[in-house]
Amino acid sequence: MNPSAKSARSLPWASWCVALAAVVIEALPGARDALVYDRTALAGGQLWRAWTGHLVHFGWAHLVVDAGLLVILGWFGERRYPVFTRWGLAAMPPFIAAAIFWFDPTMQRYGGLSAVNLGLLLYVAAQGWRRDWTDWFWPAVIAAYVGELLFEYFRGGHGGGAIRFDDANISVATGAHVASAVYALLALAFTRLTQQPKIPPSSSPSS
């Protein structure tokens, strides 16, 4: 294969496209209301919101944090675990939306890539840690991200840390983050099961 073609294929195009879509939506007046996760609208059949809601952000500061992290995670994820990362970008949003729809009925509106980012982060970090259990980098990354979420949560979900929302009624969606962590753990378990080395059957002793 041509080295330049191989390099192009290894670029995180899927993650970059998702981040770009989030930027475009933020720049379009009125797009938020048509695309955000809205429990009533979803119940009424507007199922696209299960995907597009994750591309909606509550202000440019919120977008920069979420999309910026996705660009970084996509660089690692699509180069090292392209199947999980690309399928995750498609399948994780509706998984998260379904989880908060069924298990968090008080959440009427939701937006942002933070939950998707957390799912990608947990998978990439766990796989990286498996390669070298003495490597402190990935556990430190997970701890820092969880620390940010806890800080936001205990501040009431209205700012603090890196995230700023332009809507005072928006709070950090802990349930969505838990759902993404469950998705990543299920994917890790599936990966372990499907990558188990096959043990050849023992041959019967000759008589």
Q: How many CB atoms lie within 10 A of CB 56?
A: 25
191 in any annotated domain = no
Per the structure, the count of domains in the chain is: 1
Q: What is the total residue count of the chain?
A: 207
77 in any annotated domain = yes
177 in any annotated domain = yes
204 in any annotated domain = no
pLDDT tens string, the chain, 207 residues long: the values are: 454 444 455 688 999 999 999 999 999 988 999 999 999 999 999 999 999 999 999 999 889 999 999 999 998 899 989 999 999 999 999 999 999 999 988 889 999 999 999 999 989 888 877 666 556 777 777 787 677 667 766 765 544 445 666 765 666 677 888 899 899 999 999 888 887 655 555 544 443
173 burial class (0-12, 13-18, 19+ CB within 10 angstroms)?
A: buried
62 in any annotated domain = yes
Radius of gyration of the chain (CA): 19
**Can you read off the two tokens belonging to residue 86?**
């690309």
Return the CATH number at 96.
1.20.1540.10
198 in any annotated domain = no
25 in any annotated domain = yes
Q: Please provide residue 107's backbone torsions phi and psi, each rounded to the nearest 5 degrees.
A: -80, 105
For 115, the domain range is 10-185
207 in any annotated domain = no
Q: How many CB atoms lie within 10 A of CB 197?
A: 5
